[in-house]
Amino acid sequence: MSLVKTKYRSPEASAFYTAGLILLGIVVLAFLISLFWTPYSPDATDASAKLLAPCIEHPFGTDNFGRDVLSRVMSASKYTIYISAAGVAIALVLGTVAGIPAGYFGGYIDKGIMLLGNSIMCFPGILLALVAVAVFGASVTNVIWALGLVFAPTFARVCRLGTMEIKELDYITHARVMGVKTYRIMGFHIFPNLVPQLLPATVIGLANMTLFESGMSYLGLGVQPPDASFGKMLSDSQAYIRVAPWLVIFPALMLVFYILGLYFISEGLRVNLAKGGKR
């Protein structure tokens, strides 16, 4: 309708971006610093300093083995970010590779792929991941693969729907008439147009993946001791929640920051795409 082109970002979206980046920034900063330096070694126990309340030497207090909570929170952010990013990457690749052909070819290919995806989706995701880890053994790599598989159908659905819409457009017909090969049409003509839809899905996927990982670590199937992850720290500290609440509060806060930050960013993306993303 309007031929006027403006780079227009709504103030609402800007507010979401700012809030999201600040919250996410805290976690990412903790992660980056932990790569080079933590106040104490995250695994070093100190029998003389068990369950210390937050003080100047230990700003976040210490746990039941006398380990510094701040150091552990910092190193836990490493696993959380690593598992969620790698899991989403696997889910994204699997989902895209399955979803685009499903939407493009339709018919039996579509039915077959979607049947597989739907059967994964109709089980509770955490249950499936738990079974996979129980069968293949509890390790970080297995957790990543299990979560990636569980999340792949979500991305496949987004890709399939987008592809079904885009493949009817003239430029795809034009590419077919020009003689562009099918895999090229899917990879280079359709995929770049799916990015605006995949972006919010990816960010939400990161947040959900983190929650799943925390849940699995809480159940003892994710990160193995002595390594720390937010979920693992929460499960370890539940016996001490009355005497040493700081053991729960700080990892939980970091988890909240990370997930809330991601949700804010995805919300900003959604608002921005809905308002200004129309071509």
Partner 1 sequence: MTRHIHIVKVHHLTLAFPTRKNPNPKPVLDDVDFGIRDGEILGLIGNSGCGKTMTSLAIAGLLPENAEITSGSIKFAGKNLLEMSPRERRSMLGKDIGMIFQEPSTALDPLMVIGKQLEEVLTAHKENVQTKEERHEAIKDMLELVGFKNAEEIMNRYPHQLSGGQRQRVLIAGAALLKPRLLICDEPTSSLDTVTTVSILELLKELCHNLHITILFISHDLSVVRGFCDRVMVMRDGKIVDRDTASDILTNPRNAFTAELLTNARLDTRILGFEPVKVDYTKDPVLTAKDITAGYGRTLFERGKNKDEKTDNKVLHDVSLKVYPNEIVGLIGGSGSGKTTLIRSLLGLLPHSGTVEIKSPRIGVIFQDPVSCLNPAHTIKWHMSEALEASGKANEIKGEGTYKERKAKALARITAALEICGLGEEHLMRHPNELSGGQRQRVAIAMCLIQDPSLIIADEPFSSLDASSSAELLKLMTDINREQHTAFLLITHNIHIVRQIAPRVIVMSDGRICEEGTTSDVLTNPQSEATSKLLDAERQIHVILPVNN
Three-state SS for the chain is: CCCCCCCCCCHHHHHHHHHHHHHHHHHHHHHHHHHHCCCCCCCCCCHHHCCCCCCCCCCCCECCCCCEHHHHHHHHHHHHHHHHHHHHHHHHHHHHHHHHHHHHHCHHHHHHHHHHHHHHHCCCHHHHHHHHHHHHCCCHHHHHHHHHHHHHHHHHHHHHHHHHHHCCCHHHHHHHHHCCCHHHHHHHHHHHHHHHHHHHHHHHHHHHHHHHHHHHHHCCCCCCCCCCCHHHHHHHHHHHCCCCCHHHHHHHHHHHHHHHHHHHHHHHHHHHHHHHCCC
Q: Which of 18, 141, 173, 182 binds partner 1 (CB under 8 A)?
A: 173
Q: Using the rule CB under 8 A, is 171 a contact of partner 1?
A: yes
Distance CA 101, CA 235 (A): 42
50-58, 71-79, 168-176, 264-272 -> range binding partner 1 (CB under 8 A): 168-176
Q: Using the rule CB under 8 A, is 174 a contact of partner 1?
A: yes
Least distance from C-beta 97 to partner 1, angstroms? 19
Show the binding pattern over residues 66-105: x = contacts partner 1 (CB under 8 A), - = does not: ----------------------------------------
Q: Which of 15, 97, 175, 260 binds partner 1 (CB under 8 A)?
A: 175
Q: Using the rule CB under 8 A, is 188 a contact of partner 1?
A: yes
50-58, 72-80, 169-177, 205-213 -> range binding partner 1 (CB under 8 A): 169-177
- Closer Cβ to partner 1, 50 or 176, answer by number: 176
* CA distance to 35, 79, 100, 103, per residue, from 228 (Å): 14, 8, 38, 41
Q: Which of 128, 138, 180, 248 binds partner 1 (CB under 8 A)?
A: 180
Q: Using the rule CB under 8 A, is 107 a contact of partner 1?
A: no
Q: Using the rule CB under 8 A, is 176 a contact of partner 1?
A: yes
Least distance from C-beta 268 to partner 1, angstroms? 17
Distance CA 252, CA 247 (A): 9
Least distance from C-beta 239 to partner 1, angstroms? 54
- Closer Cβ to partner 1, 49 or 185, answer by number: 185
Least distance from C-beta 184 to partner 1, angstroms? 8
Q: Using the rule CB under 8 A, is 169 a contact of partner 1?
A: yes
Q: Using the rule CB under 8 A, is 192 a contact of partner 1?
A: yes
Q: Name the residues that contact partner 1, by CB under 8 A.
A: 1-8, 169-171, 173-181, 184, 188-189, 192-193, 195, 275, 279
